[in-house]
């Protein structure tokens, strides 16, 4: 009998998904298979989750599972797809946790349902947005399976594949971007502060950020409305906002261009690697 779900790759993404699946009882431990290159990591998992099935390799997992989560690095994905291809059929459902390998390239190895998705670190605290794209061969049951697997700890947003590159900057990449922006803000404030520590400045900023997010979401306030309410012309906030308004557009445009350019570069490298693998077969 096939297990409900298998996870190949127990890094940051795979381990987070496994934790959430068991935390919310989305899948019972005995219905989950895992495989990973590091045996040490698998040993620790077997202690924490004694009833999950630890597979000795990706092939064993593929043979045991119909629904397979591929949570490996983008440039490692071609080799994994090549490895498991002989053991999957059109009934298998592949959910790939990176959009940096194009679905047309994944379909060179699999002619069944495929969902590519961009998870977010924010799901660790049951929030954030997971971007996803279903290929034309994913049926309604598979789409529902994917949505039900993630909806309890993340908002699932279905997009066209071409839209994921820009949108992942607002979701999966956001924690890193946000942390860097806030870190630089704290550094600047620290230089001008005499008696308040960096830790205190960071705490005040985070509490204020949490409150601001709730205010915007719960009161359905736009960014512009919030600025207008807080920023009175001639006041201290107004003077700071004017500086941000002048300087930030170029900073954000440059950051987005760099991120999107690297995204395309990785996609191209993965596509080339896949074509090489297919030609050697």
The end-to-end CA distance of the chain, in Å, is 31
Structure tokens at 148: 């039900």
SS3 content of the chain, % helix, strand, coil (to 5): 60, 10, 30
Cα Rg, the chain, nearest whole Å:
22
Q: Which long-range contacts (CB under 8 A, 24 or more apart) does 24-28 make?
A: 24/152, 24/153, 26/148, 26/149, 26/152, 27/149, 28/4
114-118, strands of its sheet edge to edge: 53-54, 32-35, 5-8, 67-70, 93-96, 114-118, 129-134, 155-158
Enumerate the β-bridge partners of residue 155: 129
Taking a C-beta distance cutoff of 8 angstroms, is the pair 144, 90 a contact? no
Using CA atoms, how far apart are residues 253 and 248, in angstroms rounded to an integer?
Answer: 8
CA distance linking residue 96 with residue 9, whole number of Å? 11
Adjacent-strand bridge partners of 156: 130
169 is known to lie in a ligand binding site: no
In this structure, what are the phi and psi dihedrals at residue 122, rounded to the nearest 5 degrees?
-65, -20
- Phi, psi for residue 32 in degrees, rounded to 5: -120, 135
Q: Return binding residues for NADPH.
A: 58
Q: Return binding residues.
A: 58
């Amino acid at each position: 009998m096939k297990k409900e779900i298998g996870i190949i790759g127990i890094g940051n993404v795979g381990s987070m998904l496994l934790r959430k699946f068991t935390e919310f009882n989305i899948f019972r431990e005995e219905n989950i298979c895992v495989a990973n290159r590091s045996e040490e990591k698998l040993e620790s998992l077997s202690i924490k989750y004694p009833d999950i099935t630890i597979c000795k390799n990706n092939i064993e997992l593929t043979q045991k599972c119909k629904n397979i989560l591929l949570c490996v690095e983008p440039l490692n994905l071609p080799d994994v797809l090549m490895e498991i291809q002989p053991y999957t059929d059109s009934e298998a459902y592949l959910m790939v946790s990176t959009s940096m390998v194009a679905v047309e390239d994944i379909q060179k190895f699999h002619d069944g349902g495929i969902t590519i998705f961009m998870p977010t670190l924010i799901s660790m605290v049951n929030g954030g947005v997971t971007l996803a794209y279903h290929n034309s061969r994913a049926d309604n049951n598979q789409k529902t399976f994917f949505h039900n697997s993630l909806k309890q700890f993340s908002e699932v947003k279905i997009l066209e594949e071409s839209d994921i590159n820009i949108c992942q900057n607002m979701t999966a990449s956001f924690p890193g971007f946000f942390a860097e922006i806030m870190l630089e803000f704290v550094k600047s404030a620290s230089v001008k502060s005499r008696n308040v520590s960096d830790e205190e400045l960071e705490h005040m900023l985070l509490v204020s950020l949490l409150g601001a997010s709730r205010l915007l979401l719960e009161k359905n306030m736009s960014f512009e409305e919030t600025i207008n309410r807080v920023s009175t012309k001639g006041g201290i906030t107004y003077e700071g906002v004017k500086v941000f308004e002048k300087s930030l557009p170029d900073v954000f445009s440059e950051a987005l261009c760099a991120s999107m350019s690297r995204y395309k570069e990785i996609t191209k490298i993965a596509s080339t690697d896949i074509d090489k693998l297919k030609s050697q077969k």
